[in-house]
A = this chain, B = another copy of it.
Amino acid sequence: MSKPVSRREFLNLIAATSGTAAVLGITSALGMIPSSASASVPDLLRLSNQSRKVVILGGGISGLTVAYELGKAGYDCTILEASHRCGGRIFTVRAGTLIDEIGNPQYCDFDDEPHMYFNAGAARIPSTHTNVLHYCKELGVDLELFINENKMAWIQDDNIMGGKPIRNGEFTTNVRGFMAELMAKAMTDVELDQPFTDDEAGLVLNMIRAFGDLGPDNRFTGSSRAGYASGNYVTHTVQKDIIDVRNLLRAQAARQVLSDNEGETGPMLMQPTGGMDRIPAGFVRQLEDKIKYRARVTSLNLRDDGVTVEYDQDGQRLSIDADYCFNCIPSHFMNGITNNLPADYTQAMKYIRRGVAYKAAFQAKERFWEKQGIYGGISWTNQPIRQIWYPPHGIHKAKGVVLAAYDYGNGMPFTRMTQGERIEAHLAQGEKVHADYRQQCEKGITIAWHRMNNMLGCSARWNVQTPEEQAIFDKLQASVNGRHWFIGDQISKHTAWMESAIQSAHVALADLDQRVRAEAANA
């Protein structure tokens, strides 16, 4: 039997659960800053007759941004990319794609059709990411809408409803009904800190009722928002029973689906038509002859007047001299690269922790989710796969690709499995959400970013909150001798986003430009 909580007990509880605020803080950092700023592309001084050579370490989106912008301004750029492709963690998997996970390489054998792809890394562009959008426009990358939340998608949690999936809309409607009842009760409390006039209280009450779809007595007695048990547009409809919030509280997804515009779910989301790799491809079209693939950097020698970079390419040790160096190599690889960066700089670099992430996808023989009225969006589960994503594109086509697992820090259970075991686990877990999942899914692919060749990690993970952290950030964001800039989402306050990587490139470019302009003024 439930035991009432006294006021004092409750206040103790508040103190005891304050730890969750920290958890929220971290999750929030996975989201995005709803910036009102427009694109930050620096207005670079165009070089006239003199030539400046630039070497760019890594063909991730920050490196591509630097090469593209400096190329337009007349600089002579070379990108050294360790792998066989640019884009880094912008990676679209389709028929024939190699997933170069060390110890578990796979070739994707999805059907070869334009809509049959999987964005294994970056997958969403929020409408607040003005710089990503700026380059999409400039490079002719077509965009289409993407959605996270879908009231028709499922919430499946072994701790609620006996493990039976429940529609997101039914879940949220019942929780909101409960919340609205709570609020209406609180409004009757004359101890409100901000007492309202009659008129204002009436407005609040209307708002609360609308929020929770309460009845005139301020009780939640069910709502059509949860869907109907039976009936349609031309017959009598029967309302679904209400669900006691007690039965929903324990769902892990509760926070996710109620937090509204926290994180990625706030602004509109978009994706490039045909795959996220259309973005690096747009840059590469402009840079084709400036990129050296399979070029692994082995040493970095900074001098006052320039930089020399040695690299291995196809069995040869080669070298390149340049005036400037922009470096988006994942920080944890710099240990293995001979360099003469200052000691405090390499020390700062070591502060950056590298995150893990795991994704998987299936080809679906039929778009089984559409038969359940699900068009795009995410189903949530408390199982290790966490999420199932349905494609927002290719509506009503014969087949589609579903994201089958997305784990970004849950102990990474799948990483310890063979490929066969991973697939079996995803099928078994997916079956709890969709009964026919196993029959519908085939050709599974998996990707553990912390085991990917030339990557060995997902995005950097660090928060810049303390003065010490700010000092580290400032150190790494600044150039070394005006010759070397560290770039990438790793040098941002909001790692893991393309927008951050691009903004870090813009900061470095603006710094270079300022120096070049100063030289020009002094010349």
Which residues of A come within 8 Å of B, CB atoms? 2-7, 9-11, 13-14, 16-18, 20-21, 24, 28, 31, 33-38, 40, 127-128, 130, 133, 136-137, 142-147, 150-152, 167, 169, 172-173, 175-176, 179, 182-183, 185-190, 192, 194-198, 200-211, 213, 215-218, 224-228, 230-235, 237, 244-246, 249-250, 254-255, 258-262, 266-268, 270, 370-371, 373-377, 392, 395-396, 477, 491-494, 497, 499-500, 503-504, 506-507
Docked complex Cα distance between A386 and B383 (Å): 44
| Of the residues B145, B234, B491, contact of A477 by C-beta under 8 Å | B234
Given A9-B198, A207-B249, A234-B491; A262-B225 close (CB under 8 Å)? yes
* Copies of this subunit: 2
Residue in chain B with minimal CB distance to A204:
B249
A421 to chain B minimum Cβ distance, whole angstroms, is: 33
Starting from the known contacts A5-B195, A7-B188, 8 additional A-B residue pairs (CB-CB under 8 Å) come to: A3-B197, A7-B189, A18-B216, A33-B231, A38-B371, A182-B187, A233-B499, A234-B506
Docked complex Cα distance between A261 and B227 (Å): 10
Residue in chain B with minimal CB distance to A140:
B396
Given A183-B182, A266-B225; A233-B494 close (CB under 8 Å)? yes
Point out the residues of chain B lying under 8 angstroms from A36, CB to CB: 227-228, 373
Q: Is the Cβ of B225 less than 8 Å from the Cβ of A10?
A: no
| Of the residues B14, B234, B259, contact of A210 by C-beta under 8 Å | B259
Q: Is the Cβ of A258 less than 8 Å from the Cβ of B227?
A: no
A-B contact pairs, 8 of them (CB 8 A): A7-B189, A7-B190, A169-B266, A200-B246, A210-B259, A233-B493, A237-B493, A268-B377
Given A145-B376, A395-B144; A34-B225 close (CB under 8 Å)? yes
Point out the residues of chain B lying under 8 angstroms from A503, CB to CB: 232-234
Point out the residues of chain B lying under 8 angstroms from A176, CB to CB: 260
Point out the residues of chain B lying under 8 angstroms from A186, CB to CB: 182-183, 185-186, 189
Q: Is the Cβ of B10 less than 8 Å from the Cβ of A201?
A: yes
| Of the residues B194, B201, B392, contact of A145 by C-beta under 8 Å | B392
